[in-house]
Amino acid sequence: YRVAIENYLEPYLNYYVVKDLDEAQAAIRLLNKAQKGKANFFILDAFKDFQSPATLTPSEAKPAVDLIQCDPAHRNLINFLLHHVVVTETDELAKEISDEKLTVLAKSGRYIQRKYTISGGSVGLFEGKKIGRKKNLEVLEKTIQRSQQEEDKLSSRLHQLRDQLSQLKMAKDAGSIQQAQARLNQTIQEIATLRAKRESFENYLAENAFRRKEIEERIEQLSAKNKEIESALGSMSKEVEKAREQISNTDGSFRKVAEELSQASAAYNEKNIAFIRQQNKVSSIQRELSFREKNLDEARATLANAQRLLQQSTDEIASLNDQIEQLQKDLLEMYDLRKSKEGSLSEAEQEFFKARGGVNEIEDKL
């Protein structure tokens, strides 16, 4: 399961595990002082009270936390990183993942599946060999110790068998000699196998010791560079102190210049205020002038409109006067016609009354 879990934990493989916040702060200060970039840290004390939430595990998968061997001090950290992770034995993708927080790993390391995402591909030759190296070294040391103990036991057994073989040879017992010889050969083979394993383990330890030596040399080089940086910082601090002394010596002249600058600034501010006031007055006058010009334009437009209306009214009055004169003429003519009509009517009435009187006389005679 090492490949699958290592692929999942790859974003965290460069994290450092520290005991508490003080160690993390000390490491950050060291990185900052040496200008060696940034690093991420897991703080074990922060996981002291961590409890893994309950996770629904599919029947064909195993919880990843149950597959990890670690020191008790790191158990809560492992639970935090893998409490929602399960490992399946097959390379077939799950058709559906109901829990959004659940992550399914293939044992072969070919894919990592979540509810909404999936990642995977080929598995490299060196994958699965990054995590647990320190633990492997401890296991190898214990294995070597056990092998040495077994070798000692087998060596003791070999001596016993050789003694028995010598005794049997002296007793000239052929059957017992063959059996003892067979046991001796088997023991020799086991010893050779154990020696080969021990040599392999010793070579591995030697290689790790060489790497450790290289790391220690690198640490010494970094320490030397840190000392150089500290020395440079010390010299720079001295230069800063000298600069501060020079600044303090020139503080008196600086104050005088500052006072003159303050007076000049005050005078400038007064002139600037007067200028702003004058500018405000000019702006006010310009606004008033613009308002007056606008009113004048409106008055001119109103006057032109009134003159136009007056001309129209004058024309209408002249036309009405002409009509009145014509009506007066017509009225006079009508008056004359009326008088003539009235005269004719009077004559007709007289003739009517005269004729009627004649008719009355004739009626009386009849």
For every one of its 366 residues, what pLDDT tens digit does the chain have, with 9 covering 90 and above? 778 888 888 888 888 889 998 988 988 888 888 888 888 998 998 888 888 777 776 777 888 888 888 888 888 888 888 888 888 887 777 777 777 788 888 877 777 878 778 887 776 544 545 555 556 666 667 777 777 777 777 777 777 777 776 666 665 555 666 776 777 777 777 777 777 777 777 777 777 777 777 777 777 777 777 777 777 777 777 777 777 777 666 666 667 777 888 888 888 888 888 888 888 888 888 888 888 888 888 888 888 888 888 888 888 888 888 888 888 888 888 888 888 888 778 878 888 888 888 788 887 777
Give backbone dihedrals phi and psi of 3, rounded to 5 degrees, phi first. Answer: -65, -45
Q: Which residues make Cβ contacts (< 8 Å) with residue 37, sequence separation at least 6?
A: 31
- Angstrom distance (rounded) from CA 340 to CA 13: 139
Q: Where are the beta strands (DSSP E) in 144-284?
A: none
Parse the chain into domains and list their residue ranges. 2-130, 134-239
- Angstrom distance (rounded) from CA 187 to CA 194: 10
Q: Provide the token pair at 57.
A: 């595990």
Q: Where are the beta strands (DSSP E) in 93-224?
A: 103-106, 111-113, 118-120
Q: Provide the token pair at 289.
A: 């002038």
- Angstrom distance (rounded) from CA 342 to CA 74: 144
CA 156 to the chain's CA centroid: 69
- Angstrom distance (rounded) from CA 333 to CA 127: 134
Query: Which conformational region is residue 50 in: left (phi greater than 0), alpha (psi within -120 to 50 degrees), or beta?
Result: beta
Q: Exposure string (b/e) for 308-346, b if CB count within 10 Å is 16 or more? A: eeeeeeeeeeeeeeeeeeeeeeeeeeeeeeeeeeeeeee
State the pTM of this model: 0.38
- The answer to whether the beta carbons of residues 154 and 186 sit under 8 Å apart is no
Pick the closest to residue 165 from 154, 153, 178, 152 (CA basis).
178
Pick the closest to residue 79 from 106, 127, 124, 46 (CA basis).
46
CB-based burial label for 161 (10 Å; 0-12, 13-18, 19+):
buried
